[in-house]
Every structure is written in C-alpha cells, then in structure tokens.
C-alpha cells in the first residue's frame, strides 16, 4: 500500500538507529529511512521559516540522549487509510514535546491542531479491510541521540547534548593540560565520565572546578604510568643488553651435548618423557647458574641493581606526586625529583640483596624456559644443531624471562619506594588505587575497596605480575620544596 506523500511537510522528529529501523520495517510499508517518531508536525514547509525552524530544533537538542520504550502495536483508524504504528512510551519524550510546543509558541510558530498527540512510530498504511502484517511487537528500549529538523526534503540531525557537556569537556581538558600528562585511553574514559557527571550536577556551582580537578588528577595518573613504562622499557633493554653476551653458543652446545649424553639417545629403545624433562631442566639450570662465574655477570648484576634503584626512586616521586595532587598543588618537577631520589639510593646496600634475589628469579625463569625447549625438541626428534638453535632463540629472545622479571622487579621496587617514603613521613594509613586498565583483577579491586589500610596491614604490592596498582597517602609537601618548580 503506497504511503501518503509528506515530502513538502515540516516536522521535528526522532529517527531510530538504522539497525533497529531495519528490524521494524514491514514488507510494503514505510521505507527504512522514513521510519521516525514525530515530535511536532508544523504543516507545509513553504509556510515555515527554515532558518528560524532549525534554530528552534538546535536549541531543543540541548539535552541528554534519552531512551524510549516501544510498547506494542496500535492501528489508527478514521482516515482514508488505517495506520499500523508502534506505540512509544517515555516521560523524556513527553518533556521534549512540551518544550517543543513552548519554544515554537515563543517564536510565534503555530502547529496544526487536527489531532491530539499520541507518541508513535508509523510502520505502514493499510486499507480499512486489509489485514495487518503484524499482530504483536515485543517491547524494547530505543535510545535517541539526535533530534531531526525536517523541512521538505531537507533533513538536519542535531546531536542531543546537554549544554554543560561542552563546557565540562573544556574544563576537564584544561585540568589535564595542567598535569602535563599524556592522553591515554583511561584519560578519555575519565573525561566522558566527568562530562556525564557535570551534566547531571549542572546546578552545582562547584561542578566545573571539580571537573578541572578530575582532569588534572587523571593527567597526573597518566603521566605517572607513562614514566613507569618508560623507565621499565629503558632498564629492560639495558639488562637485556647485559644478558645476551653471557649466552655463549659454545656453552649452549656443550650443555646440549651433555643432555643428549645423559639421555643415551643412541641406545634408547623407548621414550621416557618424564625423565627427558627432568634431565632437560637439570642441564639448563647447571648451564645458567654457571653464568655467575662469567666475566660479564658483574655487569648484569650492576645493571639490575640500577633498575631496582630507579624503580624505588620513581616510586618515591610517585608518592609525592599523588600527595601534591591530593593537596591541589601543582608544579612538581618530576625529573629533578627523580634524580634527587635516585642519588639517595646510591649507598643502599640492601639493593644488592634485592638484585641478587631477582637475578635468581631470572636464572630460574630462563632455566624453566630452556628446559622446556630442550625437552620439547628431544620429543620432536630435533637434531643437535636444531636443539642449539632453539636454545639460543629462547635465551636471547626479546620477550624472554628477562623482560618479565625486570618488569616485576621494578614494579615491586616502585611500590617499596613509595611505602618507604610514607613511613619516613610518619604516615599511618594508606590507600591502594588501581590503574583502571585491563590488568586490574579481582584482587586489585578488593585491595582498593579495603582502603584505607594501616601501614603494615596492607596487601604487599604488586599483587601479581604486570600489576600497576599504587599506594597513595597524604604527606607534608614542605619537606619536598626542592622538587617543586
């Protein structure tokens, strides 16, 4: 059944998302692109000032997106043709309709008074005796994010946005810029959340100040995590550069010869996979722990000790940065602070013990990886040269156990550096704050929810490898005046 031609009309309308319009369209009914909910029909377009009309619609669009419910079917009768419609229920739509009539009236624009207003979305026109193509429409929610001004064949969509949103977005951006931090995914998510809160609390005279503060806070966190990542990448490379020269192909070949000899490959009548794996791990540990006698091992130990010192220094600076943010004090010079904190680590003998502990973990991790490669290679029937190549690959790969251990060691050091600073400042309680990224697990969330913690009772950070949760507390910034620009 052909639909009436309203191409010369003028209306304010809401158009459903295209994918929903596809679902609602019925065969022979209104085209998908024409499905809409009329807010107000103004009659013939020639009688409506297009510029004034669009001005009204743009003003009406200064509101948040809202959701309506399609609440079943109805069949309007009484005209030349019946109309099958989806009924629309929404108090927000009622508010929009009321505001629309008020705005039009204020500008002297009248609308036809032929009918009352029943919110609906027309699906198809039918002859009075014609059977409807649908007998039921399940209820569903539909979000409208734009208000359309339709003037004849011209349609302009105005995104629904609270007038506070653009102001709040600028306020958040101003705070973020003050921090000097990078624009990260977390900052972007925080901005949208801050804008939403600002729109909901638009009547609060302090909401924009709070939005600026939130932007600065998120910028500070972004900078904090960026600096940590940069430090860890830097020291991972330095330690990798010190590690790789220790892996001598001749020593690896000798270890594999010993492994093959132990297994008695030539005489073996059948595989004993448990024994293969045990012997592979034993040979791997023997070879790697022999590295402590290699000339370059001292450089590796020094480099790891430097990484731990850098981690501790960064943790101390992070602690002051968090305290400064809590006190709404800007001007921390991160680089000066880091250099000062790093120099204080020069004579800490305990860092050598820490370095030795992490070296042990590094060797154990590398031995586990090497043992698995040797055992798998033996089971797969690799030749001697193929086993040597596989061993060299795993021991010198960029994503080997070294990088994993360095990340864990420096994160642990950063958390210990922050905790040491808080203790030295007489802090009794601390919070745990998650990084807000995909590495946050249930243990992280529980630790954050349990804040504040008495120092000594808090979970020891990091809670897991690659954890980026932080300790946070208030400290007197007067002790760190030299760090402030």
Establish if 3 belongs to a structural domain.
Answer: no
Confidence of residue 267 (pLDDT cuts 50, 70, 90): very low
Nearest to 21 by CA among 7, 35, 10, 9: 35
**CA of 22: how far to CAs of 31, 134, 142, in Å?**
9, 15, 13
Establish if 362 belongs to a structural domain.
Answer: yes
Tell me what pLDDT residue 266 has: 41
Tell me what pLDDT residue 269 has: 44
Query: Is the domain of 195 the same as that of 305?
Result: no
Run of H or E including 472:
strand 470-472
State the Cα–Cα distance between residues 120 and 70, nearest whole angstrom: 8
State the Cα–Cα distance between residues 63 and 164, nearest whole angstrom: 9
State the Cα–Cα distance between residues 302 and 293, nearest whole angstrom: 15
Domain end call among 193, 220, 247: 220
Query: Is the domain of 181 the same as that of 95?
Result: no
Tell me what pLDDT residue 263 has: 81
Q: Pick the more confident residue, 226 or 79.
A: 226
Query: Is the domain of 33 the same as that of 106?
Result: yes
Question: 164-215 pLDDT, tens per residue?
Answer: 888 999 999 999 998 889 998 889 989 999 998 998 888 899 999 999 999 9
| 74: Cβ contacts below 8 Å, ≥ 6 apart | 84, 85, 87, 118, 120
Domain end call among 159, 176, 201: 159
Query: Is the domain of 193 the same as that of 246?
Result: no
For the four alpha carbons of 112, 117, 119 and 120, in that order, the dihedral sign comes to negative
Contact 74, 103 (CB under 8 A): no
Establish if 1 belongs to a structural domain.
Answer: no
Asked whether residue 348 carries a pLDDT value surpassing 90, the answer given is no
- Is residue 226 reached through a cis peptide bond, with omega within 30 degrees of 0 on the bond before it? no
Measured in degrees and rounded to the nearest 5, phi and psi for residue 346 equal: -60, -35
Query: Is the domain of 146 the same as that of 184?
Result: no
Domain end call among 159, 183, 212: 159
- Per-residue pLDDT, averaged over 136-143, amounts to 92
| 366: Cβ contacts below 8 Å, ≥ 6 apart | 284, 288, 395, 400, 401, 402
- Per-residue pLDDT, averaged over 383-408, amounts to 86
Tell me what pLDDT residue 1 has: 54
Asked whether residue 102 carries a pLDDT value surpassing 90, the answer given is yes
Confidence of residue 465 (pLDDT cuts 50, 70, 90): confident
Strand ranges, E, within 146-189: 146-151, 154-159
Number of compact structural domains in the chain = 3
Confidence of residue 116 (pLDDT cuts 50, 70, 90): confident
Query: Is the domain of 239 the same as that of 376?
Result: yes
Tell me what pLDDT residue 71 has: 87
Helices (H), 344-463: 350-380, 384-396, 401-424, 442-449
Asked whether residue 409 carries a pLDDT value surpassing 70, the answer given is yes
Contact 204, 244 (CB under 8 A): no
Asked whether residue 437 carries a pLDDT value surpassing 80, the answer given is no
Contact 293, 395 (CB under 8 A): no
- Per-residue pLDDT, averaged over 372-399, amounts to 89
**CA of 294: how far to CAs of 15, 226, 297, 301, 389, in Å?**
74, 35, 6, 12, 22
Tell me what pLDDT residue 3 has: 65
Strand ranges, E, within 90-221: 120-126, 140-144, 146-151, 154-159
State the Cα–Cα distance between residues 175 and 421, nearest whole angstrom: 27
Query: Is the domain of 76 the same as that of 134?
Result: yes
Candidate from 40-49, 83-92, 392-401 with smallest mean pLDDT:
392-401
CATH number of residue 40's parent domain:
3.90.1140.10
Contact 74, 123 (CB under 8 A): no
Tell me what pLDDT residue 270 has: 52
Establish if 258 belongs to a structural domain.
Answer: yes
Query: Is the domain of 174 the same as that of 134?
Result: no
Establish if 2 belongs to a structural domain.
Answer: no
Tell me what pLDDT residue 2 has: 58
Mean pLDDT of the chain: 90
Establish if 87 belongs to a structural domain.
Answer: yes
User: Domain containing 346: what range?
Assistant: 223-483
Confidence of residue 147 (pLDDT cuts 50, 70, 90): very high
Q: Say what percent of the chain tops pLDDT 70.
A: 97
Query: Is the domain of 176 the same as that of 150?
Result: no
Tell me what pLDDT residue 144 has: 95
Query: Is the domain of 211 the same as that of 229?
Result: no
Q: Is the pTM of this model over 0.75?
A: no
**The pair of three-digit structure tokens given for residue 407, joined into one six-digit string:** 């990340």
Query: Is the domain of 17 the same as that of 45?
Result: yes
- Per-residue pLDDT, averaged over 8-21, amounts to 94
Tell me what pLDDT residue 396 has: 87
Run of H or E including 167:
helix 163-179
State the Cα–Cα distance between residues 442 and 246, nearest whole angstrom: 40
Query: Is the domain of 212 the same as that of 228?
Result: no
Calculate ∠ Cα 188-474-213, nearest 5°.
Answer: 30
């Amino acid at each position: 059944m052909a639909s009436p031609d309203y191409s010369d009309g003028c209306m304010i309308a809401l158009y459903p998302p295209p994918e929903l319009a596809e679902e609602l369209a019925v065969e022979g009914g209104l085209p998908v692109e024409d499905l809409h909910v009329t807010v107000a029909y103004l009659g013939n377009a020639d009688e409506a000032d297009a510029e004034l009309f669009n001005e009204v619609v743009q003003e009406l669009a200064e509101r948040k997106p809202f959701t309506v419910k399609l609440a079943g079917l109805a069949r309007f009768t009484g005209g030349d043709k019946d109309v099958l419609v989806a009924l629309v229920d929404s108090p927000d739509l009622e508010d929009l309709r009321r505001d629309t009539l008020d705005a039009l009236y204020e500008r002297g624009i009248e609308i036809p008074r032929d009918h009352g207003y029943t919110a609906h979305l027309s699906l198809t026109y039918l002859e009075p005796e014609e059977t409807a193509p649908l007998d039921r429409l399940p209820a569903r929610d539909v979000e409208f994010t734009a208000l359309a001004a339709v003037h004849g064949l011209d349609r302009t969509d105005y995104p629904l946005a609270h007038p506070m949103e653009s102001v709040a977005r600028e306020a958040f951006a101003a705070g973020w810029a003050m921090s000097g931090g990078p624009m990260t995914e977390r900052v972007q998510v925080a901005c949208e959340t801050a804008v939403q809160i600002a729109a909901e609390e638009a009547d609060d005279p302090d909401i924009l100040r709070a939005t600026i503060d939130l932007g600065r806070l998120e910028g500070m966190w972004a900078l904090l995590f960026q600096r940590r990542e940069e430090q860890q990448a830097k020291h991972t490379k330095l330690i990798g550069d010190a590690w790789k020269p220790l892996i001598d192909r001749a020593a690896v070949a000798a270890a594999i010869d010993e492994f093959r000899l132990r297994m008695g490959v030539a005489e073996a009548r059948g595989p004993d996979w448990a024994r293969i794996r045990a012997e592979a791990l034993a040979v791997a540990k023997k070879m790697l722990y022999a590295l402590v006698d290699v000339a370059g091992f001292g450089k590796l130990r020094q480099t790891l000790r430097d990484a731990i010192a850098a981690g501790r220094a960064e943790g101390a600076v992070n602690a002051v940065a968090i305290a400064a943010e809590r006190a709404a004090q800007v001007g921390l010079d991160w680089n000066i602070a880091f250099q000062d904190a790093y120099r204080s680590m020069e004579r800490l003998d305990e860092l050598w013990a820490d370095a030795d502990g992490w070296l042990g973990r590094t060797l154990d991790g590398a031995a586990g990886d090497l043992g698995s490669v040797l055992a798998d290679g033996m089971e797969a029937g690799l030749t001697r040269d193929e086993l040597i190549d596989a061993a060299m690959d795993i021991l010198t790969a960029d994503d080997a156990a070294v990088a994993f251990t360095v990340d864990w060691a420096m994160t642990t050091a950063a958390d210990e550096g922050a905790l040491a600073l808080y203790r030295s400042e007489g802090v009794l309680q601390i919070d745990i704050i998650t990084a807000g990224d995909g590495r946050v697990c249930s243990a992280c969330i529980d630790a954050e929810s349990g804040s504040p913690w008495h120092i000594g009772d808090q979970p020891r950070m990091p809670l897991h490898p690659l954890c980026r949760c932080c300790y946070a507390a208030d400290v007197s910034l007067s002790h760190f005046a030299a760090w402030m620009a």
